[in-house]
Chains A and B, each alone.
Chain A
Amino acid sequence: MIVIDDIIKRFGSLRALSGVSLTFSRGQCVALLGPNGSGKTTLIKSILGMVVPDSGTINFNGQSISDKWAYREKLGYMPQIGRYPENMTITNVINMMKDIRKDHKIKLDEELIESFGLNNMLQKKMRTLSGGTTQKVSASLAFLFNPDVLILDEPTAGLDPLASEVLKQKILKEKQNGKVIIITSHVLSELDDLITEVVYMQEGSLIFHKKLAALKEETGEEKLSNAITKIMKANHHA
């Protein structure tokens, strides 16, 4: 569904992505892992068209995304740090997004707004919200338009355990609906029962892309967190 071919991105002299190629298909739930500054967010933003790669191509359903915009109808994105117009209330933001995307006959999915309890604070301004509540809004917006692909950048960072669990259940449900889900997270323990594939990046390069089961088998570990720690340590010493 998404084919990334040899993309390179430099920020000044820093190579954020040096020739990454990846393929994501339907029904996959991919964990994008790697140390801080390994290029995960840049990769995600390239798929979203927020960052324009210096070279290489990204295809979405067989079509190159460069200078395209309509493909984003099929994307839901939850940013690491959601930034919203400060003077708007939660309702304003949600209604604005609905308004901007509404010509397209999609069944809206308001489940998360409800289960996060955002209904009780719809009139609050974005400026006054705590980090966690802002994350809830971001998550609700990502799922709202029932997209085929969900891209979640550190989805549970800042969420309380209860909200985290709600989001996890929602991700599991959407995975069963055959969506592509791409998650970056540093909380490895909670990824175990969510994901099917692991992509590991370091310093802008792809180290490996494997099925979770294969990875566990290779490292001989039962838990994802142990398997990844083993790899990180091995890489560190190498």
Chain B
Amino acid sequence: MHKIFKYVVLDIVQNKIVLIYTLLLLVISLSIFNLEDNSAKGLVSLLNIILIIIPLICIIFSTIYIYNSSEFIELLVSQPVKRKTIWLSIFAGLSSSLSFAFFVGAGIPILIYHADATGIMMITTGLFLTVVFVSIAMLAASKTRDKAKGIGLSILLWLYFSLIFDALVLFFLFQFQDYPLERIMVFMSFLNPIDLSRIQILLQMDISALMGYTGAVFREFFGTNMGVLISFIGLSCWIVVPLMISLKTFNKKDL
């Protein structure tokens, strides 16, 4: 396992895109913290950027990387190596290098400027989101043979999680506004890893009062230790389930 992992990481490092991604995050987070005189405000601005950029870069880069490694995968599949090892090594290589990039690019500035519970929550959810979207990319790439289709699917998935899902939720809310939907909203937030992360961080920031009654219900559920635990279990499911489905597909794939 570790041998193939090593080659994947080496290849990603040589690729330089991850390095540029790290620098980009570093520039964004440092400039935001320096522009705002209040680091808590800086954190809120950073939150929105991170919730857009991380999923986008992780899913697109990973999908393209997997397609570009088709030669590497083909070469290894005819060797005495388990298919599971190949697939999980690629997953581990992508998620560890992208997580490292996020930690250096955004995690370290956060620790320097705002190292409290909120900051640490933001780093943790950022790392989780990174791995979640690598895992979703593995699923998209394993299901489609055609590269353009696969990348298109990844972009659509990103759009869905970042924009379309929220639009659907709003639509749903307006259609059924006469009913008490607050508890259903708690459940629905588990259907989108980005929302789950956003809620966790916002609750840590103590601005849930701005969200009205729904905010209070969220606070009641997600604010407890149990709630935090359950939402991280939810995020972990978003990592494990797509990865396992993609592994199953890859095991039966013809190369």
Contact = CB atoms under 8 A, between A and B. Distances in A.
Partners in one complex: yes
Interface of A: 11, 45, 48-52, 67, 69-73, 75, 77, 79, 83-87, 93, 96-97, 99-101, 104
Contacts of A100: 3-4, 76, 79, 81
Contacts of B83: 69
Contacts, number: 59
B81 A69 contact: yes
11 contacts: A48-B77, A50-B78, A51-B254, A52-B252, A69-B83, A71-B80, A77-B78, A87-B14, A100-B4, A100-B81, A101-B79
Contacts of B45: none
B66 to A, nearest CB: 13
Contacts of B76: 100
A93 B76 CA distance: 11
Nearest to A16: B254
A101 B75 CA distance: 13
Interface residues of B, number: 24
Interface in B1-21: 3-4, 7, 11, 14
Contacts of B251: 67
A48 B77 CA distance: 8
Contacts of B74: 50, 83
B71 interface: yes
A130 B213 CA distance: 68
A82 B255 CA distance: 13
B71 A85 contact: yes
Given A85-B72, A96-B7, A99-B3, A48 B81 contact: no
Interface string B31-50: 00000000000000000000
Contact of A83 (B4, B7, B75, B81): B75
B69 interface: yes
Contacts of B70: 83
Nearest to A50: B255
Nearest to A82: B75
A75 B77 CA distance: 12
Given A49-B77, A52-B252, A84-B75, 5 more contacts: A48-B78, A52-B253, A69-B82, A73-B80, A79-B78
Nearest to A142: B78
Given A48-B78, A50-B78, A70-B80, A83 B254 contact: no
A73 B82 CA distance: 12
